[in-house]
Chains A and B, each alone.
Chain A
C-alpha cells in the first residue's frame, strides 16, 4: 500500500491507526465480495484482469478511492471550510437534477450516469456536503447552539437532502441523515430531545408488539402511578399534573392514531411489512392506502421476510468457528439476496462464525472509538462537528446494516461502510474519512 509508506512525506500528523483500519476494512470487504462471487469452475485470476466480476470491480474502486484519499490529504484543509456551503448547495442541486437526468436502478431514481457505465448516487455524496455545511454552520462564531432557532436551522439543513432522498425512494439513505443527531447532541442539543426520541421509538415498538387495548391500559397505569407517587408535589404545582396528562394524551394518540396512520398512509406496503416482519407479525397490505391505489401492479415476489430468514440462516450456520473461507454453503448457493451489497455481513458470518463476526465488530468498534478520540482532540468546532458527523454516519450504517441482517431491525437498503460492494458508497466513506484525517492533521491550527 503505497499510500501508507509515502504518507509521512506529504502529510504530517495523519492518524496512522485510522489509515490502517481503513485499508484493512476495504481488504476484508473485497475478500467478502470474492467469497460471494467465487465459483470454483472459473479462473478467478483471469477475471481479475477483465474486471467482469464485482470483486475485481471493487478492487478498481478501491484503487481509485486511494487516489482520491491521497488527493484529499494533499489539499489544504481550509478548502473544506471555505467551500462547505457551496458544496452543500451543489449537492442539493445535483439531487434535484437527478429527478430529471436520473437513472432508475433497483426501483429508485437516484443515480446519475457518468462515463464508463458507472453511476453516481447524488444522495451518497450529499452526506459529505451536509456534514461539512453543518460543521460550518455550527462553528460560525455567531451561532449559539443552545438556541432552539439554531437547532431548527441545523435540522432543516439535514432534513432537506433527507426529504429529497425519500422522494427518490431511497428510504435507507434518508434515515442516515438522522445520524447527524450525534454531532448536534455533542454541540449542545438538549438531552431531552434524545430521551423523547428514544421514548417515541419504544412506544412505536410497543405498539407493534402489544395489542392496543393492553398498551392503553399500561400507559394509563404508568401515568396514574406517576401522579399518585408525586401527589404532594402536584398540590403545590398544578401545572405538572397537566403536563403528565398531556404526555399521556400524546402517547395515547401516538399509539392509537399516529403509528397506524404512518404505517397505513405514509409508508409503502413493503416497508410496513418489513417492520412488522421484524417483530414476527404479518401486515395486511389491504389496509395500506398506497398499495390500494396500486392494486393490480403488484408483482409476485418472494415473501418479505425471505431476505432476513436466509440472512439469519447464513449467519447462524456459521456457528462458533465458521465454515471456513469459501466454504459457506449458503453463500455458494446464493441463498441470500443482495449478498454482495447490503447483506455482505452474512458471507463473513457464515465463513468465519462468531469468532469472525466478533473480531470484525471489534475492529469497527475500535475504529469508531478512535474517531471519537480524534473528534475530542480537535481544537476547532468545525473539525469536531465534522468528526461527529462522520462518526454518526458510520455508526448508523454499521448498526442498522448489521442489525437488519441479524433480524434486529427492519430491512433498510443501506450498505456496510467500506465492506459492501459499490463504488458510490466506498467513495463516500473514503472521502468522509480522509477529509477528517486532513482536518485532524491540521488540528494544531485553529480553523475558525
Chain B
C-alpha cells in the first residue's frame, strides 16, 4: 500500500472539478447569456411561410365590383437548388439571354437569400405559364407561384381606386411596424392606399420545420404559433359605376374633371379625371409596360384633377358670394344693382355680359343673368363691411366663410393627397400691395366673380353645390359608405363622413332665392338648352379666365331642384364657355344618375360629345414632338392594350357578365379609333394655344419626374 501519494487523489479531483467548471462556464455563456444561438437556430430550422389573404373588394352603390381579385402566376426560383437547370431552354422560353438569367438569379439572392424562393419572372402570360408548366421538370429550383392580382371588370375609376404595387425600401421604412416584407404588395394610391389596412386584411404565418437540406419536415409545434390569414374586408362605396363610366366617356379627348356627389350623404357618385388610363393597365405584367409611359406623359394621366386640379371657379362662385353677404345681413334677396354692362366703381371698368337695365334687379335675376357687376358689388360690401372696421378684417371674415364652405382647405375626402387649392391669405395681399393699410376691396375685386387668386378643386366646387342643395350644411365628401363587418375602429374612421358640417344659419328663404336664381339659369339663363327629361334642376355656369390659355369651361349644378340627390361640378380645361362644354356633361351625368338611363337623344349627345377633341394644342404638339401620336387617343380606350387584358380575363368563366360589359366598351373604342384614324384630327380645334403657355405645365411635369 502506497499511502504516501494519497493526497494526489485530491489533486486529481481538483483537476476534474476545474475542467467541469470551465465546461459549465462555457455552457452558461452559450445557453443563458447569448441569445444569438436561439436566433440562429430559428433561422436554421423554422421556415415561415406567409399566407396572403385575399384583398378586400371595392363595390359600387349597387354592389357591383369595381375591382376584383384574379389569379396570376409568377415564376419563382430558389437559387440554391438550381443545379442542372436547362438554362438555354428557360432563356429561350422567357426570351432572355444568359447574362440576364445570371443577373436575375443574383437579384433573387440579394432580395430573398439563397434558400428562399424569390421572384424570377412575375406575372406570366397564359402562354408563358403553359409553356413553363409543361417543362418545369427541366428547371429544378424553379416553381410557379400563384399570386392574386387586381382586375377591373368595368375598366373604370382608375384614379379613385388607385393601384397596388410592390413595396419599396422607402415604404418598408415608413411602415416598419406593419410587418411588410420585400416583395409584398400594398396600395400605393387612391382608395387602395387610403384603406390599405382594411383591404389587406391580416397576413397569416405558417411555421414549418425544415431540415439541413431545406426540406420541409412538417408543421412546427403542431401549428401552435401559426396565425391564420384574415381576409381583407370589402368596401362599399357610393360610386355608381355607370355614371362613372359615362363621365369618363364624355371627358375623352379633353382635359378636365367631373365630380358628382350625393348631397344627402356626401357620398361621391362619380369622380373622373381626364386624361385617364385603364386601371387594368397597371396590374400584372401590363404594369411594367405602362407605368413609365403614363408617368412621362405631359398630359399627366395619373394625376387626379378632381382633387388636385386648381381652377378659378369663375361665375360658379357667385351663389356663394351672395350667401356670405346674405348671412352678414348686407343684402337681402331683393337687393338690386343697376348694371349697364360695366362695373366702374373701382376705376377700371369691368365688363358684364349683359347691359339691359334691370337684369340685376334682385338676387334671383342677377344669378340667372350672372351679372358680374352685381356680384362685384356684393363682394365689396362683404369686404368693406363696416362691422369689421377695415378691409383686412372684412376679408378675413370672408375667408372664414370660404373655408367654412370647404374652399382653401382640405375637405378630408378618403383619398390620399387631396389639394387644398387656394383662398389667398391676407399676407399675400399685404406683401404685394405694400402692407395692410394700402389695400381695399377694389384690389382683389374679381374675387367676387371667382377669379383673382382664388382657386378651387372640382371636388370643392361639387361640395359647395351640395351645401347649397342642403341649404346650409354638407357632409364631408367620401367614397366609402360602409365597411364589411364594421368594427368600432372603422366606425371612428367613418364617423367624420357621417357628421353634418353646418356652416351658417342662413334662413331658408335666402337659400330659396339662390336656388330660384340657379333654377332660372336652367330655364332661361346660360344653361337653358340643357334639359333633364322630367326633372327640374339648378345650375350655374362658369367661364374662368386663366393664365394657361383659353377659358376653362365650368359647370356646377344639383338636381332635382326640390329634394336634391345629386350635385355635380364639371371642368373642361381651356374649352371656352361653361355652358357649351361643361354644361352638357353635367346634364348627362345628372340624367344618368336620376333616371338611371339616358334617352336615345341624350345617348347620341353623349356619343358625340365623347368624340369632340378639346385637347390643348400644347399637349398635341408634345405628343408629336415625342413621336407619341398614339397617345393622342386617350390610353384608356386603346384597343391593343385592352386586348391582352381581356384575354387574361377570359380564363375565368365567372367573368362572362363582365365580358359583355367589356365588349361594349371595346366596340365603342373600335368605333372611336377608326373615326380617329380616318378623319383628320377632330374639327373645331380651339384657337391655337401658344406653346409658351403650355411650357409651365411641362416644366411642372419634369419636376414630377425628377
Residues of A within 8 A of B (CB): 40-41, 182, 185-188, 310, 312-320, 327, 329-330, 332-335, 349-350, 353-354, 357-358, 361, 364-365, 368-369, 372, 375-376, 379, 381, 388, 391, 395, 399, 402-403, 406-408
Contacts and interface: CB of A to CB of B under 8 A. Distances in A.
Contacts of A354: 27-28, 31-32
Interface in B479-527: none
Interface in B1-40: 1-2, 5-6, 8-9, 11-13, 16-17, 19-20, 22-24, 26-28, 30-32, 34-38, 40
B42 interface: yes
B41 A320 contact: no
A312 B30 contact: yes
A354 B210 CA distance: 25
B37 A353 contact: no
A379 B221 CA distance: 56
Contact of B31 (A185, A315, A402, A408): A315
Nearest to A314: B41
B209 interface: yes
A365 B16 contact: yes
A333 B6 contact: no
Which 8 pairs across A and B sit closest by C-beta, in order of nearness?
A: A316-B37, A317-B41, A329-B45, A354-B31, A316-B30, A333-B45, A333-B211, A313-B40
A316 B31 contact: yes
Interface in B28-82: 28, 30-32, 34-38, 40-42, 44-46
A402 B23 contact: yes
Nearest to A336: B212
Contact of A330 (B9, B23, B30, B44): B44
Given A316-B31, A407-B26, 7 more contacts: A312-B37, A330-B44, A354-B28, A372-B13, A381-B1, A399-B20, A403-B23
A353 B12 CA distance: 29
B211 A365 contact: no
Contact of B23 (A314, A375, A406): A406
Given A313-B44, A354-B31, A399 B12 contact: no
Nearest to B23: A402
Contacts of B26: 403, 406-408
A329 B44 contact: yes
Contact of A333 (B17, B32, B34, B217): B217
Contact of B30 (A40, A41, A379, A406): A406
B218 interface: yes
Contact of B45 (A188, A332, A358, A395): A332
A349 B31 contact: yes
B8 to A, nearest CB: 5
A254 to B, nearest CB: 23
Do most interface residues of chain B lie in helix, strand or loop, or is the interface mixed? helix
Interface in B193-214: 209-212
Nearest to B13: A372
B210 A333 contact: yes
Nearest to B36: A316
A41 B211 CA distance: 15
Contacts of B11: 185
A330 B30 CA distance: 15
Contacts of A188: 2, 5
Interface in B593-647: none
B27 A357 contact: yes
Contacts of B210: 333
25 contacts: A313-B41, A315-B27, A315-B30, A316-B40, A317-B40, A319-B35, A319-B38, A329-B44, A330-B45, A334-B212, A335-B44, A335-B212, A353-B31, A354-B27, A358-B27, A361-B23, A361-B24, A372-B12, A395-B16, A399-B19, A399-B20, A402-B23, A406-B26, A407-B26, A408-B22
Contacts of A407: 26
B220 interface: yes
B38 A334 contact: no
A395 B44 CA distance: 33
Given A313-B40, A365-B17, A329 B23 contact: no
B42 A329 contact: yes
A317 B37 contact: yes
B41 A186 contact: no
Contact of A388 (B12, B27, B32, B35): B12
A319 B34 CA distance: 9
Contacts of A358: 24, 27
A329 B8 contact: no
Contacts of A379: 1
Contacts of A318: 31
Contacts of B44: 310, 313, 329-330, 333, 335
A369 B59 CA distance: 79
Interface in B266-322: none
Contacts of A350: 41
A369 B217 CA distance: 43
A323 B210 CA distance: 16
Nearest to B30: A316
Contacts of A402: 23
Contacts of B12: 182, 185-186, 372, 388, 391
Contact of B34 (A186, A316, A403): A316
Contact of A329 (B19, B20, B46): B46
Contacts of A187: 2, 5
Given A312-B30, A313-B37, A376 B23 contact: no
Contacts of B23: 361, 399, 402-403, 406, 408
B221 A361 contact: no
Nearest to B20: A365
Given A187-B5, A357-B31, A334 B24 contact: no
A411 to B, nearest CB: 15
